[in-house]
Structure 1
């Protein structure tokens, strides 16, 4: 075809769908510890019934002077005393809210975990507003100089962790590291995307980025009741490793033996970012806990990983409350169970928007 005609056709198509393509690389794990498929859908590393090391059954949310709230466990700020940290990892943590983090490595590289800056993508934002008037509050802290971010890492496709509108804001300069079969959900705009299997590694400058298992599931409903790519894309967490220091972001996950597997693979973890919420539901409480960590499960996970410092997340004023009593009920429960369950990990409590230099 004449190059002029080809360019003209591309210009016309670009007005409709865009001619830009993405550069996609797939990193498979050919060993036995990679992810498994069952009838074309990914499955958890440890499926089936589970037992839990500890369960709080009553009086799990006692009042505390460490958390100041405008109403009953709602619109709160943590004002308690955090431990004097003994870990010197070189990582800088900026908690944006819910599951979104900005991380600066010891060498100064910038990573984003599950960045969702504003309202969720359509149709979820529309459905919530129509159904019950729900509207997610925007995180109070913003990321500066998005174009200077080195890599963006996603744990799974759920709308509170993966927002296509925010990808457009971030742009195509950073690398995007995602689970297997994930890249098809990106718009086409010259993005550099690396799809990764469990226990595979990609190097970003001098930072080793490892993709690791989580006990969860995946779905991305485009049109309710008409399309749901249930578990056709993988899910997981991330381990950053630089100068022998490690930082672990769990993603959404329930408690299972995958935490012990991660510790065996990478050793004791210096900094762990662990979820503690979205576990309570009167009708489906067992299922919610199966794929989300209660506060007591997060403590057990920190023990399995031998975390030196643990930073909990998933609660907060800008969180997406699907399986919680309130915005901060999980934090109340965590402070209570930390008095009961033994752990050598130093739990450091942050408020949304705060920064921590480790």
Structure 2
């Protein structure tokens, strides 16, 4: 090869290389009707405080944050089962909004967070007060990961990358979030109400919830947040991610009918004037349970990272009060112990025909 040919080859190679790098992530956000002026919007009008408004309000607030313990001893499942091949569902609460769901031969992980802090900084920010219910290295092979949105307490990049490298799972998320995970091979982004066929007997939908997104001061609502509706092993499982109470739960019921299992946030709600529109309290969560007509609901989003002012055990205590006020039975809406597997047998009353 002559020097001239070598130069031509180098120019062509570099051009192809840089085009490939530039196109490794395809931004599909602009195709969404929910995306306007470089930001996603909620279905209902929601007024968000800016960072500086929030900071000023916190300084001026009369609400004193409760003092959480520095550490809480919890159990851990050191040898979880590898698979649940029947239509039973095995659920292990790992922490915050992270659950291992095992059913129909699939291992599904929700919003995996195993890091010490939920923060852009390793030395500052909300720090966990207990160990994960399953250590990341003890997880069985993960087939599917679902990510509700990009906040640090739901999208832990170090954990995702470790699991992607180990297991190469399919990873489902809202539009725009995939750019933060560009090194993973099986990223599937979805708009609200969009479906994806995971396997012949496993389909999921990304559904509307009322919340927001962003990981820094300048990227508010640049990626899409949401929940998931999973149809697998003859059941419907709802994972609510993070949300304030709004009519999206009723809309989900209208589209899909009653769900068998619902995972609903019950914590990070105080003071209410700051968080009412984006974080449910236990009373809101009970109403969401009723809106979804869930066979059983499981509380989450509490007790691991102190994100707001309420006491560490307050969400569980208030949930019991809210259930009594709504005349809901003790076993209809529960909380799980960290690291203790909970198994639901097939055949719950909420099961119905396959979704269309």
TM-score, reference length from structure 1? 0.74
The aligned counterpart of 2:198 is 204
Post-superposition offset of 1:169: 1.0
Of 113, 124, 128, 1:136 maps to 128
Moved over 3 A (4+): 1-6, 19-28, 74-78, 143-147
| 1:330 alignment partner in structure 2 | 315
Matched with 1:239 is 229
What is the aligned-residue RMSD (CA, Å)? Answer: 3.5
Cα 1:140/1:90, change in 2 over 3 Å: closer
Residues 99-178 of structure 1: matches in 2 within 5 Å?
99-105=97-103, 107-120=104-117, 123-128=120-125, 135-137=127-129, 138-143=131-136, 148-172=141-165, 173-178=168-173
> For residues 190 and 310 of structure 1, do their structure 2 counterparts lie closer, same or farther at Cα, with a shift above 3 Å needed?
closer
Q: Name whichever structure is richer in helix by fraction.
A: 2
Q: CA offsets, 1:146-178, max 9 Å, x none?
A: 582111111011001101111221024111111
Picking from 169, 175, 182, the partner of 2:177 is 182
1:30-72: per-residue Cα shift (whole Å, max 9, x none)?
Answer: 8xxx7522322111112248xxxxxxxxxxxxxxxxxxxxx99
Change (3 A) 1:310 1:127: same
Look up the SS of the partner of 1:290 in the other structure. Answer: coil
Tell me how many residue pairs correspond in the alignment. 302
| Residue pair 1:27, 1:200 contacting (<8 A) in 2 also | no
Give the Cα separation in 2 of the matches to 1:357 and 1:48: 38
Give deviations 1:216-244, integer Å, cap 9, x for gaps.
000111xxxxx521101110001110243
> Where do 5+ consecutive residues of structure 1 fail to align?
14-18, 50-70, 79-87, 129-133, 222-226
SS in 2 for 1:273: strand
Distance 1:135 1:148 in 2: 27
Distance in 1 (alpha carbons) for counterparts of 2:247 and 2:324: 24
Report which structure shows greater RCO (CA 8 Å, sep ≥6): 1
1:158/1:357 Cα in 2 relative to 1: closer, same or farther (>3 Å)?
same
User: What is the CA deviation profile of residues 245-296 of structure 1, one whole-angstrom value per residue up to 9, with x for unaligned ones?
Assistant: 1011100100000000101111100000101011112xxx223011011000
Aligned equivalent of 1:93: 91
